[in-house]
Structure 1
Amino acid sequence: MSTEALELALYDLGVRRDMRTAFAQDAPALLARYALDAHEAALITGFDVAGLQKAGVSPLLTYGFWLMNAPERTRAAYLARLRAGAATS
């Protein structure tokens, strides 16, 4: 598992509109551009922010990724997802 590849993908999805558009249209095709394995890609497409943080990804990147890409882009939804993921570990 590569924390660096995960962080690069999340950074791009947080700051680049073209990447967000491509992610919304075809997430697997976009994520194939990065050195991610299937599990890492699933963490991103599943918006598993707790799993991403467990993998060593910066909480700032997971939050920015969530706010720019998640179906429900609120702080409350992010924290609920983070807590739910922490409870399952």
Structure 2
Amino acid sequence: MCRNIRVLHNFEPPATEDEVHAAAVQYVRKVSGSTNPSAVNQEAFDAAVEAIAEATRTLLDSLVTKAAPRDREVEAAKAKERAATRYAR
């Protein structure tokens, strides 16, 4: 999976529309192989982003878990620790 796409499920507060949209953009960029589509492909790119964002929001709204909500600050600290370990080599 693309490293820029983050887990959005089970956070308190829930994922924002901006986070959902950013994940959709990253997904479409990865699948299309293009970070900046040409003018002729822009409409298709934007439509795909909106469709993925809608599907993502539907998924997040439908998921059920018994786990306690995650804390964004704790998860960010864990990510920094993993990165420090990964790049300390």
Shorter-normalised TM range: under 0.3
Greater relative CO (CA pairs within 8 A, separation 6+): 2
TM-score, length of structure 2 as denominator length: 0.27
